[in-house]
Amino acid sequence: MTVGSVEANGDVRVRVTVEGSDGGLRTVDAVLDTGFNGFLTLSAAELAALGLRRKSETRVQLADGERYPVSTYQAPVALGEDESPRSVVDIFEAGEALVGAGLLWDCDLHIRYVAGGRVEIEATP
């Protein structure tokens, strides 16, 4: 299923559907970051719009080796905008929405890496 595209600047953007605390669904555009081994990051504004409550705080290590505290939330999530969220995953609060390698586990990822190229992610059987 096509879930995103490649931007002119090279960013790979994908759509993610997140279920809010009231059961409503919200589609978020996120940058695909395979160097991030978590599931998903969302901004404080997106987390508030979803009505998610902070579960805990943890420390994450960034590529530069520095460790930072971040708030952790949980919600059902699905890749794409036409899918019903199934998997409950940890979501970290960050400045922008990122999809990490954790959300891609057990999936096939295909990227046509040109501006406007399609991004397809399929769950493996």
Evaluate the CA torsion angle 12, 95, 36, 88 in order and state its sign.
negative
Q: Count of CB atoms within 10 A of residue 74's CB? A: 15
Statement: the pTM of the whole predicted model exceeds 0.85: yes
Rg (CA), the chain: 14
In CATH, what is the architecture of 2-123?
Answer: Beta Barrel (2.40)
Q: How far apart are CA 94 and CA 31, in angstroms?
A: 12
Condensed to tens digits (0 to 9), the pLDDT of residues 46-81 reads 999 999 999 999 998 888 889 999 999 999 999 987
